[in-house]
Structure 1
Amino acid sequence: MASFGSIRSAIFDREEKKQQYQADILGLNAYDRHKKFLKEYVGFYGGEKQKQEQLPIKTDQDTLRDGYRFIRSEEDDMDHSWEQRLVKRYYDKLFKEYCIADMSHYKTGKVGLRWRTEKEVISGKGQFVCGNKHCDEKEGLASYEVNFAYFEAGENKQALVKLVTCERCAKKLLYKKLKEKENKEKRLEKEENRKKKREREETDDDTRKDHERPKGKRASKADDDDDDDVDNFDRYLQGMFL
């Protein structure tokens, strides 16, 4: 059994440590106290224990993102896993007649398409209102059948879809083709202008050569004509005396 003196000494030591600890705590600011308390908490309640690895939690949104297909095939419908049932249930809620387009990057020829939701069908978006996601024009609409080429599930796919747009957004939809046509016409025009320029330069060279032809050749031709006249006159005189 411990003696009274040892018990009293232990109590005094504990009180002294407590006072020293409080003095150390009071000398720290709020942030340093926070770090000290957190370090002591982790060390006391399991700093030596191994942390269990937490597996990533796959939400319904992740399942839809991974399993969604713009146009489902028969093979997709034959898969009866709960992930595919969830995706098909979402797919069946979509209205797959007209599309909604995202033309944010139309200048690069990249246009994103998706099916309409129930809310968009009720408001007329994509049918009675321009199908561009960022346009609410209701006048001058026209329907287009678009060959939608996209990459999905590691494959390149194509599908013909309907898209209703106003005149301004239709130009955005065809921007890349119109730009290529315009550039081609400009290139042909430049080639035609270069061709005409070469022809004019060749004509000017021929004309300049004619003007620069030496005059000595003309003189020699005139001398030949004079010699012919002399010969003819001599023959004429001989004929008179015969």
Structure 2
Amino acid sequence: MASFGSIRAAIFDKEEKKQQYQAHILGLNAYDRHKKFLKDYASFYEDERQKQEKLPIKTDQDTLREGYRFIRSEEDDMDTSWEQRLVKRYYDKLFKEYCIADMSHYKTGKIGLRWRTEKEVTSGKGQFVCGNKHCNEQEGLASYEVNFAYFEAGENKQALVKLVACDSCAKKLLYRKLKEKEREERIREKEEEKIREKEEHRKKREREETDEDTAKANDRAKGKVRSSTSTCDDKDDYEDNFDAYMQGMFL
């Protein structure tokens, strides 16, 4: 506990500083005093403003982003906090018959879907106008039931929703499936081409083997003919020589 002497010294110091400050202020003109007061005010409240700016400020939009659900469940409706009540009021204002699609990244298979607003329902967007966010085509529209798979609140979810699209946007909607089908067709064509090449190679090899066997058979046949011809010639020579020898013996 502070002593009486230390408390009195602190009071005297404070009073002395106050008198010095007042004397300094009284020695300034009106403009200099104005600048002095502004400087002191800024230096005194600057730390407080910085602290306030660092504090997280949660707006209604942040609340909607955190609590919004594409399809609300009974558990969501049972939550009676003001945040969930705000989200539910916003959710009830949406028209959940047809969807609006964002196909900006359709080539990667990422298509965003959301429910229509009152303004879009009034203008016919998503029902009588193409449901693609960036398309206003009104001809050649068709309704599609899309299996929308999405990640929300830390869970993987799925929902069947309706989407109206023109022919061009329908191709974007089915882009990945069409590409996969084309890829499968190319793979099947390559496999069929390999099978045809193997079959042709097999037939060619069989023809070559057949020709080789035929050539060998012909060579063997020619060899037998030459062998039999030479044998006959040797026999004739032997008979001629024998006759000549016998004639020599009896002469």
TM-score after normalising by structure 1: 0.71
Q: Secondary structure at the match of 1:209?
A: helix
2 CA distance for matches of 1:108 and 1:222? 77
* One-letter amino acid matched to 2:180: E
Q: How does 1:66-77 map to 2 (within 5 A)?
A: 66-77=66-77
1 CA distance for matches of 2:127 and 2:175? 22
Deviations 1:144-192 (CA, angstroms, capped at 9, x unpaired): 0000000000000000000000011101100100110011011000110
- Runs of 5+ unmatched residues, structure 2: 1-23, 29-34, 230-251
Q: Secondary structure at the match of 1:204?
A: helix
Indicate the residue corresponding to 1:21 in structure 2. none
Q: How does 1:1-242 map to 2 (within 5 A)?
A: 41=39, 45-46=43-44, 52=51, 54-212=54-212, 213-214=215-216, 215-219=218-222
Q: Secondary structure at the match of 2:83?
A: helix
RMSD: 2.8
1 CA distance for matches of 2:97 and 2:158? 16
Identity %: 67
Q: How many residues align?
A: 190
Quick one: structure 1 residues 222 and 146, their matched pair in 2 at CA, closer, same or farther if it must change by over 3 Å? farther
TM-score after normalising by structure 2: 0.68
* One-letter amino acid matched to 2:199: E
Quick one: structure 1 residues 78 and 208, their matched pair in 2 at CA, closer, same or farther if it must change by over 3 Å? same
1 CA distance for matches of 2:220 and 2:197? 33
Quick one: structure 1 residues 224 and 97, their matched pair in 2 at CA, closer, same or farther if it must change by over 3 Å? farther
Quick one: structure 1 residues 149 and 46, their matched pair in 2 at CA, closer, same or farther if it must change by over 3 Å? same
Quick one: structure 1 residues 109 and 225, their matched pair in 2 at CA, closer, same or farther if it must change by over 3 Å? farther
Quick one: structure 1 residues 89 and 196, their matched pair in 2 at CA, closer, same or farther if it must change by over 3 Å? same
Deviations 1:184-240 (CA, angstroms, capped at 9, x unpaired): 0110001101110111111112212333343433336769999xxxxxxxxxxxxxx
2 CA distance for matches of 1:48 and 1:167? 60
Quick one: structure 1 residues 209 and 124, their matched pair in 2 at CA, closer, same or farther if it must change by over 3 Å? same
Deviations 1:109-151 (CA, angstroms, capped at 9, x unpaired): 1110000000000000000000000000001100000000000
Quick one: structure 1 residues 47 and 110, their matched pair in 2 at CA, closer, same or farther if it must change by over 3 Å? closer
Q: Secondary structure at the match of 1:112?
A: strand
2 CA distance for matches of 1:221 and 1:68? 98
Quick one: structure 1 residues 133 and 49, their matched pair in 2 at CA, closer, same or farther if it must change by over 3 Å? closer
Q: Secondary structure at the match of 1:56?
A: coil
Q: Secondary structure at the match of 1:130?
A: coil
Deviations 1:30-55 (CA, angstroms, capped at 9, x unpaired): xxxxxxx9xx9479834996864642
Q: Secondary structure at the match of 2:159?
A: strand
Quick one: structure 1 residues 70 and 221, their matched pair in 2 at CA, closer, same or farther if it must change by over 3 Å? farther
Q: Larger C-alpha radius of gyration, 1 or 2?
A: 2
Quick one: structure 1 residues 197 and 44, their matched pair in 2 at CA, closer, same or farther if it must change by over 3 Å? closer
* One-letter amino acid matched to 2:43: Y
Higher helix share: 2
